[in-house]
Amino acid sequence: MDPKVSNGSGLQDEYIANLLVFGFLQNCSSCGFRRDLQALGCDLRARRGHEDELQTDELQTDGSRHSRLLPEGSETDSESQEEAIRSIARQLALIGDRMDHSIPPTLVQQLVVQFMNRNLSEEDRREHLAAALQQVMQTYPRDVEEEKIMLTLTMLLAKKVADHTPSLLRDVFRTTVNFINQNLLTCVRNLVRNEVD
């Protein structure tokens, strides 16, 4: 992948995963957590705006601000990458809607119980998500695009948990983003590169 997608003038990995998961959830049909998702979207935009501000303005020792100019074209690159991610999210949401029936309700209920356990660490939650994903992946043939199916199912599991218990949206969103960044980032980068090219 073009290195600009992961550093420098491009979008950062966490933001890419945030945008992808948020776009997926936003584009899935029939979700019962729209209000919670809108609030999460506002928080993500506010946080992104704050991060952009920190990257472009540096506080000088005398207390004044020094604006660092972004490389020419970097804003356009970021905008085209964002649009590519949104497009990928829409496509994966359509696939997810078709795969929705492959997630057993009992598996979703188990994940909900695990996410409700406040004693679990973020790593434990990722492990539970990974175990649920592996269980669902067993129903898919090995000749399909395995990483793309894993990515879609990971986000679909998040959607199902949030559908079941909307108050878990933020927790499952964070865990899903972290899981994607740790396990499926190459797949995401390849999808973005293919979409941008």
At residue 13, the pLDDT reads: 86
For the chain, which domains are there? 3-58+73-196 (1.10.437)
Burial, 186: exposed, middle or buried (Cβ in 10 Å; 0-12, 13-18, 19+)?
A: exposed
Question: pTM (2 decimals)?
Answer: 0.81
Q: Structure tokens of 54?
A: 């920190």
Measured distance CA(159)–CA(17) in Å, rounded = 15
Measured distance CA(25)–CA(42) in Å, rounded = 14
Over the stretch 69-125, which tens digit does the pLDDT of each residue have? 333 444 567 788 899 999 999 999 999 999 999 899 999 999 999 999 999 999 999
User: For the chain, which residues score pLDDT lower than 50?
Assistant: 1-10, 54-74
